[in-house]
Structure 1
Amino acid sequence: MAENTDVVVIGGGYAGVMAANRLTQRDDVTVTLINPRPTFVERIRLHQLVGGSDDAVVDYAKILADRVRLTVDTVTRIDAAGRHVELASGGTVGYDYLIYAVGSGSAHP
C-alpha cells in the first residue's frame, strides 16, 4: 500500500498553478492550492483590463487539474514545525510539503 503525500501550494499565480497541476501527474500526491481570490489573474492581459476590452481573469476550474483542491482563503501563518498553515478564516491545512509561490503584488487594488 502506497503512502499518500499532501502538498499545499500557497499562491495561485502562474508558478503556483503550474506546480499544482504538475504534481497531480503522480497518483500518490494530494494537492491543495490556497489563494485569496477565486479567479486566476492573467497578468499578460492586464493591458486589456486597462483598455476595457477584457477583464483579465479566468475561473480556476478552467485551468486547474481536476485533482487540485482550491481553497479560497489567505494564509496568515506557516507553522513549519507543525507542518500546517493557518488561514484567515480560522481553519488550518496540514501538509507534508509546502510550495510558497505568492509572487508579487501591488500596493493599490
Structure 2
Amino acid sequence: MYSCRSQAFLFSHVARAYSVSYRYLFARKRRPPIGPGSDYKNSLGAVHASDIDYALGNFGLNRRYRWQQADRDASNTFSGYVIKFVKTGNPDGKNLAVWPGLQAAFQR
C-alpha cells in the first residue's frame, strides 16, 4: 500500500523536478525483540520506519531489539548514503556503490 503511493508520488515528482530524484526500498527484516515477546520467532519484516535505526546508526539507543554485527554493517553503508545525500543532494560517494537516480526524459 505505502509502496504504490510512494511510487506514484516519486514519478510525479520526477516528471516535474529540475533535479535527479532518488528512491530506496528498505527490506531488512527487523530483529526479534528483547524482553516481552522475545519468544516470537517470526519477525514482521521491514516494518514502517524500521529504516530509521539504520539511517541514524542509533542501535545503542534502541535496546529493544537484538542487533547483530550485520545490522551495524548495513547501517554504516546506509547512513553513508544518507549523510552524503543530506550534504550534497546526491547519495553517491567515496567507497559507496553508485545509486542511480531517476530523472525526467527531457531536460529543462
- Bigger-Rg structure (1/2): 2
Q: TM-score range by the shorter chain?
A: under 0.3
Normalised TM-score (structure 2): 0.25
Normalised TM-score (structure 1): 0.25
